[in-house]
Every structure is written in C-alpha cells, then in structure tokens.
C-alpha cells in the first residue's frame, strides 16, 4: 500500500537495538554462574588472558564441575589461527557455552567461537573496549583485518564489574578509556545516527572525560572507575548501532598490518581524526563541546598526551614509508565519513600521528 502524502523513505530514521542482558556493579562477577544456569549451560569453556588470571581462577572455582576447559591464549585482533586452536578445545570438550573474561582480545575470541559453533556467550570485560555489546567481529588472517556485523555476534549476557578494572595499570586505563571515547565520537557523526545514539554518545563522552582524571589520580577509586565503565558501556552500545568511520578504519588498517596494541593505537589516533573531521561535522562538534565543557580536540589531545607510553605511530614501529600505502587502501574502500577522503589528506593525517 502506498500513500502519496507519506514522507520519503530517506527521511525515516531506523534505530536497531541489540538484545543483550547486562549486569553492572561491584561484585557482579559472582553472578556469572547463575547467569550460566539461566541459559542452561552445563559445559563451559572459560577464555581468559594472563592479565586477569586471578579473576579467571576465582570464576573457574565458582563454576566447579560446570567448567569443561580453559583457554588462556587469546590475542589482539583475533587471529584466525588462534581461534582455530580454541575451536578444537570446544569440540574436544563438548563445550555448550563460552565465558570470556578480559579485554577486547578475550571478548573477540568468544565472539569468534560463538559464530562458528552457535554456542551462547557471556562476556566479562575487564577493560573499556566496548566490543562486548556490539554485533561486530574483527578477525585477522595473513596480516589483513576484516570486520563483519551480525546481530548474532553480540554476547547474550554482559557482566560489568568495576572491581575487575582495578588491576588495569595507568597506561592501559587511559588508552582503553580513549578507545571507548572514540566509539562515542564516531557515533556522533555516523550517517545512520539516531536521537538514541546521539544521547548515548553524548552521555558516554561526558562520563568518560569527567571521571577519567579521577581514576588516573587514584587507580583504586571504584566509584570513578564505575563511571568510566558505564560510559564505556554506553559508547560500545553506540558502536553497536552506528557505522564506523575513518578513525576505526585507520585503526583496523594499521593494527591488522603491523600487529599494534589496539587501545594504544586508538588513543594516539583519536585527537588527529577529531581535528580532521569535526570541522565537517558541526553538530557532533557542538554536542561534544557541550558535553566536555570546552574545545573537544584540546581536551582529548591533553588526555592522549598524558600517556606515559607510546604516543606516536613511529614509537610503535610503524615505518613512515608505509603510511601512503595505508592511506591508499583506506581511500580505495572508505568507511562512511563526514569529510571526503583523498590519499593526500589521509596521508597527512597519518604523518601527523607518526
């Protein structure tokens, strides 16, 4: 049925949510066994990283006979060969659910395993990566990272426990929070943004930037860490609902090619991409300025420059001669971006980050 007076389809905003159950608050880790019981899991593969071994040990003990196996070898950018090793464990131990405890590498592996087997997943993030609430999976094969989106990729349950972030060192705390902030920033200029994603992104940016200095001043401040974690949740939800732009494309291209640390890479790229894109995204610029109370580029650059580790691409070992090639790949198949891209301007951005 058609209506001559109906608005054009292009005027209709579509908001797509993700069906994820979220538990958040200090001590939430203790609820993981009951959540697994709720979904009927009997043989669980526990995926952890060495940095969260203590939390993994505590959860393994709580699972008792329900723990089928444990895998401690996830890697950044979710290499396919690592997924295949973990998949063999799922098969050998007849696992019927996967619980991923850790940062983006653990959560990504949980997604990859669920995608290949159909088993349900529970994500327990210990950083501010945000991928735990997204239907997005990035995998690396032969130095090339590819990303796909499917509602089935999102974990069915996410457990946020700010106490699990207390062990994050200062550097990772800062870079991981800026990684989360990047999700909110790009959501504000995404072509498919909605009033809901705008509201979530604005609140996420405010909470992360307002609370992060308190966390950096006292890494044991659970209340401030709770605010950053909640902001990261909102920012990740934005990432689940909107398309990624230049910032994420550069991070994928550089990270997959040179095997770079994910959060640190996002942190060093963010102020450069904001400076590049915000003049072409006045609504996003206005929202960020109101949320942060001042010039957003200056605020984010100040936070990024406070990092005591690598702050430039050259410090991560990226060869300067490779920058133009990365720019060519990005421009050849660009993600949606408020500013039109060309090889010269993207190479210039990368040169400044280098």
List the one residue out of 314, 326, 315 whose CA is nearest residue 251. Answer: 326
Q: pLDDT truncated to tens, each residue of the chain (354 aa)?
A: 445 554 455 578 777 777 789 999 999 999 999 999 999 999 999 999 998 999 999 999 999 999 999 999 999 889 999 999 999 999 999 999 999 999 989 999 999 999 999 999 999 999 998 889 998 898 999 878 888 889 899 999 999 999 999 999 999 999 999 999 999 999 999 999 999 999 999 999 999 999 999 999 999 999 999 999 999 999 999 988 899 899 999 998 998 889 888 889 999 999 999 999 999 999 999 999 999 999 999 999 999 999 998 999 999 999 999 999 999 999 999 999 999 999 999 999 999 999
Q: SS3 of 210, please? A: helix
* pTM score: 0.89
Instruction: Classify residue 136 by its DSSP letter.
Output: E
Contact between 56 and 101 under an 8 Å Cβ cutoff? The reply is: yes
Continuous H helices in 189-281: 195-217, 222-241, 246-258, 262-277
CA dist 198 and 67 (Å) reads 41
Largest CA distance in the chain: 64
Helix (H, G, I), strand (E, B) or coil at 129: coil
Rg (CA), the chain: 20
SS3 144: strand
For residue 174, give both structure tokens.
């800062």
| Calpha distance 308→300 (Å, rounded) | 15
- The pLDDT of residue 146 is 87
Q: How many CB atoms lie within 10 A of CB 29?
A: 20
First-residue to last-residue Cα distance in the chain: 56
Which pair of structure tokens corresponds to residue 280? Answer: 């072409």
pLDDT number for residue 4: 52
Residue 97 has phi, psi (to 5 degrees) of -165, 155
Catalogue all structural domains in the chain, each as residue range(s) with its CATH number. Answer: 21-165 (3.40.50.1970), 170-353 (1.20.1090.10)
Contact of 178 with 263, CB cutoff 8 Å = yes
* Residue 5: CA count within 13 A, CB half-sphere: 0
Closest CA to 222 of 20, 24, 12, 19: 24
Counting Cα atoms < 13 Å in the Cβ hemisphere of 126 gives 25
How confident is the model at residue 1, as a pLDDT? 46
| Residue appearing with tokens 């203790």 | 30
Give the model confidence (pLDDT) of 306-316 as tens digits: 999 899 999 99
DSSP 232: H
Q: What is the predicted pLDDT for the residue at 38? A: 96
Task: State residue 9's pLDDT score.
Answer: 52
Cα 143 from Cα 317, distance rounded (Å): 15
* Helix/strand/coil for 76: coil
Q: Coil, strand or helix: which one is 335?
A: coil
In sequence order, which ranges of 78-162 are alpha helices (DSSP H)?
A: 80-92, 104-117
Strand 44-48 relative to strand 97-102, pairing: parallel
């Amino acid at each position: 049925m058609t209506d001559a007076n109906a608005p054009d389809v292009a005027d209709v905003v579509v908001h797509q949510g993700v069906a994820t159950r979220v538990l958040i608050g200090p001590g939430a880790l203790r609820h993981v066994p009951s959540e697994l019981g709720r979904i009927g899991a009997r043989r669980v593969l526990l995926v952890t990283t060495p940095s969260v071994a203590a939390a993994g040990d505590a959860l393994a003990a709580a699972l008792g006979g329900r723990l089928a196996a444990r895998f401690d070898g996830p890697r950044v950018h979710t290499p396919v060969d690592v997924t295949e090793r973990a998949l063999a464990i799922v098969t050998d131990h007849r696992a019927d659910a996967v619980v991923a405890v850790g940062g983006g590498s653990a959560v990504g592996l949980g997604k990859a395993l669920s995608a290949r087997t159909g088993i349900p997943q529970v994500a327990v993030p210990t950083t501010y990566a945000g991928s735990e609430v997204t239907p997005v999976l990035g995998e690396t094969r032969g130095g090339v990272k590819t990303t796909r989106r499917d509602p089935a990729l999102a974990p069915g349950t996410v457990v946020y426990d700010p106490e699990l972030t207390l062990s994050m060192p200062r550097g990772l705390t800062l870079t991981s929070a800026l990684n989360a902030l990047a999700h909110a920033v790009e959501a504000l200029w995404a072509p498919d943004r909605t009033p809901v994603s705008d509201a979530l992104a604005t609140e996420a940016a405010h909470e992360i930037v307002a609370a992060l200095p308190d966390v950096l001043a006292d890494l044991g401040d659970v209340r401030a860490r709770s605010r950053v974690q909640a902001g990261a949740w909102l920012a990740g939800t934005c990432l689940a609902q909107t398309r990624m732009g230049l910032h994420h494309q550069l991070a994928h291209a550089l990270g997959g090619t040179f095997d770079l640390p994910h959060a640190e890479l996002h942190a060093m790229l963010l102020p450069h991409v904001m400076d590049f894109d915000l003049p072409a995204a006045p609504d996003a610029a206005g929202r960020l300025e109101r949320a942060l109370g001042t010039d957003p580029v200056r605020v984010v650059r100040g936070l990024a420059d406070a990092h005591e580790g690598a702050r430039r691409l050259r410090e991560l070992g990226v060869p300067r001669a490779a920058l133009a090639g990365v720019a060519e790949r990005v421009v050849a198949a660009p993600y949606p971006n408020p500013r039109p891209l060309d090889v010269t301007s993207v190479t210039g951005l990368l040169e400044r980050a280098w």
